[in-house]
A and B are shown apart, each in its own frame.
Chain A
C-alpha cells in the first residue's frame, strides 16, 4: 500500500514535469528559431558579403569598414538620437502635466478627456505618418506652411531640410505617444495612497510642495519605466521616417533601423546591413546599461534618505 502510494506520487511528479516541459516548450522552440538563431546569425553574416541570392563570401571586417566610412551611417545614428530627444522629452513633460490635470480633484468629464487624449495611440503609426505628411507638406498648401505663411514665412520643405525633417518626425512621435504616457502616469498617480496627501496637507504643504515632495518621488518607478520604454522605442524608430521620406530615405531623416533596412532590402547588401544591426545592438546595450545604472542609483539614494 505504502509503496503503491509512493509510486503514484512518483508518477505524478514525473507527469507534472513532463507536462511542464511540454507546456513551455513551444515558446523555447519558436524563440530558438525566430529569435536566438537570427541573433547569432546576424553576427556571422556581418563578416560576409551577401546579396541574398549568390553564395556568401567571407570578407572579414570589411562590412564594418564600409559602414564606418559612410557618412550616412553616422547621420543615421545622430538623427536617431536627435529625434529621440526631440520626441521624448517634450512628450514626457506634457504627459506629466496632463496627468496632473486629470488627477486633480473635481474634474468633470475626466473619462472623456482621458479617452480623447488616448485616441492617437489607437491610430496606427502608418496612418499617423501619412496624416502628418500632409500636415507637413512641402508646398504652400500644407497646413503648417499655410499657418507659417500668415507670419510671412516662406514655405518650408519639410521632408528635405535638416531641422524641419526632425521637427516633423518628432511631432508624429509626440502626438501618438503623449496620451499613452499620460494614462500610464495617471495610473501611477492614482495608486499613491490618499493618506500621504492628507498628511502633507496637515503639515501645511502647498500644492506645489505636495507635487514635489509626494507625487514625484512616489511616481519615480513609473517615470523610470516610461523613460526606459520611450528610449528603446526611439532607438528603433523606423516607420515614421520610412513613410515621411519615401523610398529615398534622405540623409536628413534616416534612422539606424531605416539605414539597415535600406541596405538589406533596398540595396541587397545583407552583410553591411548585418554589421549595422550589430552596431545598433551595441548602442542599445550601452543605453540600456546607462538607463539601469541611473535607475539603480536613484532607487538607492531614495533608500538612504
Chain B
C-alpha cells in the first residue's frame, strides 16, 4: 500500500518536471534571440564575423549606438513613430467610441444595416487597395507626410465593434435616459457620462491600436520615403539595407528600438496580455 503511493507520487512529479522542462525550453527559446541581439549590439563587426561568433556581451554598447546615430536620425524616427502612434490611437479611441455609442444607445433608421456594413469591411484585406491608396495619397500631396499614415489609420471597424459591445454592456440605459431628460445633448451624454464609464475599454483598445501602428511596416515603407519622416520600423529597414553591412551597428539600432516597448510591456504585462488576447477572443 505504502509502496504504491510512493510510485504514484514519483510518477506525478516526473510529469510535473516534464511540464516545467517544456515551459523552460519555451521561455528560453523566446528569450534567446533578444539575448543574441544584445550580444551583437555590444560587439564590433569584426568580432561578429569570427567563427565561432561571440556569445557573451562585449564592450561596444555605446560605440555601436554612436555609429547608429551617425547613420540615421534614431531619436527622430522614434519620435515620428511615437507621434503617429499616439495620434492614431487617440483618434481611433474617439471616433470608435463615438460610433460605438451611436450604435448601442441611439435609435436611427438603418442602424442594423450600417453596423453590418461595418463588420463586413473587416473582411476586406487591406493590401488589395494598396496601389490606389498610394495614388490617392500622391494626389492629395501627402507623400512623405504623416497625414498619409494618420488619416487612413483612423478607419477601424474592429474598434467600433469593440466599443459597441462594451458600451452596450457597461453603460445602463437608465443613466443615458436620465441625462437626456435633464436636457443633455447626445454629444454631452457621450462626453460627460459615457466616456468616464468606458475608460477600461479605452485602455484595452488603446494598447491594441498603438501596438498595431507602432509595428506597421508595409504602408509606412510605401508612403514615407524621405528619411526625415521615417518611422522607426522604416528607418531600421533602411539601416539594414545599407551596402556596407555593419552588424554590430544594425543590431544596436534594432536593440534600442525594441527596448522602449519591451519596458512598457514588462511594466504592464498583465494589462497587455489581457488586452491583446481579449481583443482576439471576443472577435
Closest to A32 in B: B155
A165 at the interface (CB under 8 A from B): no
Chain B residues closer than 8 Å to A247, beta-carbon distance? 241
State whether B281 touches A184 (Cβ < 8 A).
yes
Choice from B118, B131, B222, B241 contacting A277 with Cβ under 8 Å: B131
Kindly identify, within residues 114 to 151 of chain B, every residue whose CB is under 8 Å from any CB belonging to chain A.
Answer: 114, 117-118, 121, 123-125, 127-136, 138, 151
A265 at the interface (CB under 8 A from B): yes
State whether B36 touches A232 (Cβ < 8 A).
no
| A219: min CB distance to chain B, Å | 11
State whether B240 touches A130 (Cβ < 8 A).
yes
B102 at the interface (CB under 8 A from A): yes
Interface size class of B (residues with CB under 8 A): 35 or more
> Do A239 and B155 form a contact, CB below 8 Å, given A122-B272, A264-B130?
no
| B241: min CB distance to chain A, Å | 7
Kindly identify, within residues 77 to 125 of chain B, every residue whose CB is under 8 Å from any CB belonging to chain A.
Answer: 95-96, 98-99, 101-103, 106-109, 111, 114, 117-118, 121, 123-125
Please give me the 3 A-B residue pairs with the lowest Cβ-Cβ distance, nearest first: A38-B129, A20-B108, A38-B132
Give the complex CA separation of A235 and B128 in angstroms.
12
B71 at the interface (CB under 8 A from A): no
Closest to B20 in A: A107
Chain B residues closer than 8 Å to A13, beta-carbon distance? 107
State whether A280 touches B128 (Cβ < 8 A).
yes
A162 at the interface (CB under 8 A from B): no
State whether A101 touches B23 (Cβ < 8 A).
yes
State whether B257 touches A116 (Cβ < 8 A).
no
State whether A115 touches B51 (Cβ < 8 A).
no
Chain A residues closer than 8 Å to B68, beta-carbon distance? none
> Do A274 and B131 form a contact, CB below 8 Å, given A16-B108, A26-B95?
yes
B233 at the interface (CB under 8 A from A): yes
State whether B266 touches A115 (Cβ < 8 A).
yes
Closest to B270 in A: A111
B229 at the interface (CB under 8 A from A): no
A200 at the interface (CB under 8 A from B): no
Which of the segments B2-10, B59-67, B196-204, B209-217 contacts the partner chain? B209-217
B258 at the interface (CB under 8 A from A): yes
B269 at the interface (CB under 8 A from A): yes
Chain B residues closer than 8 Å to A24, beta-carbon distance? 99, 102-103, 114, 118, 160
Choice from B222, B236, B276 contacting A130 with Cβ under 8 Å: B236
Closest to A155 in B: B51
Chain B residues closer than 8 Å to A83, beta-carbon distance? none
B169 at the interface (CB under 8 A from A): no
> Do A17 and B107 form a contact, CB below 8 Å, given A39-B129, A239-B218, A277-B127?
yes
